[in-house]
Structure 1
Amino acid sequence: MIERIWSGQSPLWLLLWPLSLLYGAIAALIRYSYQRGWRKSWRAPVPVVIVGNLTAGGNGKTPVVIWLVQTLQQRGLKVGIVSRGYNGKADSYPLLVNEKTPAEQAGDEPVLIAQRTGAPVAVAPKRRLAVEALLKQGDIDLIITDDGLQHYALQRDKEIVVVDGMRRFGNGWWLPAGPMRERASRLKDVDAIIVNGGTAQVGEMAMHLQPGLVTNLLTGQKKPIHQLDNVVAMAGIGHPPRFFTTLKQQGLTPVAEIAFADHHAYSEAELARLLVTGQNLLMTEKDAVKCRSFARPDWWYLPVEAELQGEGVEPLLNDIEQLCRTYSPDLHH
């Protein structure tokens, strides 16, 4: 239902329109208060690059963060990542995350990023605390924040926005009548726009998610997706249909497709009930980080890699590297 409202297919968005105006007014006032200096923002002693979005729901932001971290690591830069840690319930903050930190504490995305990149990750609702925790741990050349475009208490050097190329901005209205956290005009202020799927427009970088080998949660065994049969597919991400479409593009037709809410907390019994004897459960890698501790032999996940194209990719990476050298002129790797 919410997809129909946000896309403009359902007229119910008109009922939510007054709430959208209130949301937009509050969001604009918050940003303006930081711009005018009425509220204080903090500048880190190293460059800060934000990877965020203008809309609610899955846009493919986390694969972009992983791609950016790995690419900058290959250039010899020491990258730290901070996140709000959505849906995580740590005993205290900031929380330093590694590949073994339970997703219930840190949130699923920070654990996935730590597992894939090996980079230091810190989680805190106030990003400044997370940044400071990382800087205390050791030598960091720059900070990448997973989300946080609207977290103006943290000053930033670069803003990268990820856009869902198929859904774009729906009906264009603020939450809850539409999907927008900020209006599309905000794109004029950002440094790079990455479009996941669909067709990139002038000035945007095209991104596609390239699937890898399906991987067994219990054993780590890897094999091509076409060797997996009798598949029940599940996804608890911002936009589950994207995952199901990816499977079909790879030639796999699941016997069932089950969508959960984004960041859903799974139990072993809940997932075991999805299968009958002889079936395999296939999930996203983001789901897998929450299920490893109670995984069964017939549970698999499909990792994806972000692949970026466009004239702006190399200049963006060069600009970020140059930023690091501006902050630390003696930077040599």
Structure 2
Amino acid sequence: MSLAERLQRAWQEGGPLAQALRPLGWIYGLLIEIRALLYRLGLRRAEALPVPVIVVGNWIVGGAGKTPTTLALLRLLQAQGIAAGVISRGYGRDNDELRLVDRASTAAEVGDEPLLIHLRSGAPVAVGSDRVAAARALLAAQPELRLLISDDGLQHWRLPRRLSVLVFDERGLGNGRLLPAGPLRQRRAMSAEPSLVLYNAGAPSTALPGHLARRQLAGAVELAAWWQGAAADPLAWQGLRGRPVLAAAGLAQPERFFTMLRAQGLDVLPLPLPDHHDFSTLPWPADTVEVLLTEKDAVKLRPERLGRTRVWVVALDFRPDDSFERALQQALQALPR
């Protein structure tokens, strides 16, 4: 078992490793409390932006569903005629430059998740390690925007926010301890803006009141067609059943993807990869007949690189329940126009 796997287990179950790391967690907790105090005393301040910002984040490390939540928010806002853009750090890219994302961008330049958000939603997206600078650059390029969504950035307190959407998966708060003794990046709400809680799981996984999201696979489409904008076909599963199919996933929680594929009746040969895997070389044998990929991985793989392998892109259908939509509508009405 790797160190990362041992940590993940300790974060959920406790044990000697989590106990040994508790002093480091106390130091980490002290540092973030001091930083929060500086903002409360006005010694540090959030910057000002001309439009409201919604931050989508989570209290724990690892993928809890921030990007699907951001895409769901964009769909809801677009349905209401609200022009919204997205800012992100662009984790996993090979530079820290401030960049505006377009269809010609690569995942290496802007990050896999920001590129996926732009391709799936058509929304304007900017990436930068300084999210305030990214927000200003995006607003300068797209002055018609009336709202910004920050994909992650809950702990980026220089970024002003009017609403936070906190995303939790089935891990909840883990063992309830701060990094590195546990998965928590913060122990509680550390800023005063209102928040909505969304559970990317079948049931609430913390004591916080919130809303549920339905998560299921929408279907699959061949990689070349996906790059041309074709939608996933739910009937594609029929042609993939009855034989072993390799499934690759560069996710923080790859087993979640494999489990959902098996629920479709597929005989999956799992190939877990590191989160944000760059696909600089193909991770499967050259004679592999068929491969299933997530959309997050597909943005790093062009069809001309495949050889004879047939690659299917599997799309996720992620939809918050109606109560979340109503709560979001109420929160939006309270935002400045």
TM (norm. structure 1) is 0.89
Q: 1:311 corresponds to which residue? A: 323
Equivalent residue, structure 1, for 2:25: 20
Does the CA contact (< 8 Å) of 1:53 and 1:161 recur in 2? yes
For residues 35 and 305 of structure 1, do their structure 2 counterparts lie closer, same or farther at Cα, with a shift above 3 Å needed? Answer: farther
Match of 1:252 in 2: 266
Q: Does 1:235 align with 2:249?
A: yes
Shift of the alpha carbon at 1:258? 1.6
Cα 1:185/1:31, change in 2 over 3 Å: closer
Task: Say whether the 8 Å CA contact 1:43–1:156 is kept in structure 2.
Answer: no
Whether 1:156 aligns to 2:166 is: no
Contact 1:234–1:257 (CA under 8 A) maintained in structure 2: yes
Cα distance between partner residues in 2 of 1:250 and 1:212: 11
In the TM superposition, what whole-angstrom CA distance separates every residue of 1:289-320 from its partner, at most 9, and x where no partner exists? 11126542411121112111153431313422
* 2:59 counterpart residue number: 54
Quote how far apart the aligned CAs of 1:4 are: 0.8
Q: Distance in 2 between matches of 1:82 and 1:185?
A: 22
SS in 1 for 2:116: helix
Partner residue in 1 for 2:3: none
Match for 1:207 among 206, 213, 224? 213
- Identity of paired residues, percent? 35
Counterpart secondary structure, 1:257: strand
1:282 aligns with 2:292: yes
Q: Displacement, 1:130? A: 0.6
1:291 — aligned with what? 301
1:331 match: none
Matches within 5 A, 1:21-170: 21-90=26-95, 93-138=97-142, 139-164=144-169, 166-170=170-174
Per mean C-alpha deviation after superposition, the further-off stretch among 229-238 and 292-301 is 292-301
Partner Cα separation in structure 1 for residue 20 and residue 238 of structure 2: 46
Residue type of the alignment partner of 2:317: E
C-alpha distance in 2 between matches for 1:64 and 1:321: 20
CA separation in 1, counterparts of 2:332 and 2:135?
Answer: 18
Q: C-alpha displacement at 1:194, in angstroms?
A: 0.2
Q: Secondary structure at the match of 2:19?
A: helix
Verify the 8 A CA contact 2:56 2:154 in the aligned structure 1. yes
1:196 paired to 2:200:
yes
In structure 2, what residue type is equivalent to 1:116?
R
Matched residue type, 1:263:
H
Give the stretch that moved more between structures: 201-210 or 68-77: 201-210
| 2-structure distance, mates of 1:170, 1:160 | 19
- Residue 225 of structure 1: which of 219, 233, 237 is its match? 237
User: CA separation of 1:23/1:286 partners in 2, compared to 1, >3 Å: closer, same or farther?
Assistant: same
Give the superposition deviation at 1:208.
2.1
Kept in 2: contact 1:226–1:252 (CA 8 A): no
Cα shift readout 1:78-121 (whole Å, capped 9, x = no counterpart): 1010001111124x632000233100011110000000110100
Instruction: Please say if residues 94 and 130 of structure 1, whose CA atoms lie closer than 8 Å, have aligned partners that are also in contact.
Output: yes
The verdict on how the C-alpha distance between 1:137 and 1:20 changes in structure 2, with shifts beyond 3 A counting, is same
Answer yes or no: is the 8 Å Cα contact 2:161–2:193 preserved in 1.
no
The separation in 2 between residues aligned to 1:67 and 1:243, in whole angstroms, is: 19
CA 1:10–1:202 in structure 2 vs 1: closer, same or farther (change >3 Å)?
Answer: closer
Q: 1:71 to 1:307 in 2, by over 3 A?
A: same
For residues 190 and 249 of structure 1, what CA distance do their matches in structure 2 show? 37
Q: Tell me, which stretches of 5 or more residues in structure 2 are unaligned?
A: 1-5
Q: Which residue of 2 aligns with 1:330?
A: none
What CA distance in whole angstroms lies between the structure 2 residues aligned with 1:284 and 1:113?
A: 13
Larger mean Cα displacement after TM superposition, 296-305 or 104-113: 296-305
- Is the Cα–Cα contact under 8 Å of residues 97 and 122 in structure 1 kept in the other structure? yes
Q: Deviations over 1:131-175 (max 9, x none)?
A: 1111111211100000000000111000110001x2111111111
- 189 and 80 in structure 1: CA distance in 2 versus 1, 3 angstrom threshold: closer
The amino acid of 1:103's aligned partner reads A
| d(CA) in 1 for partners of 2:123, 2:160 | 22
Task: Write the distance in 2 (CA, Å) between the matches of 1:187 and 1:322.
Answer: 18
Give the RMSD, CA atoms, in angstroms.
2.1
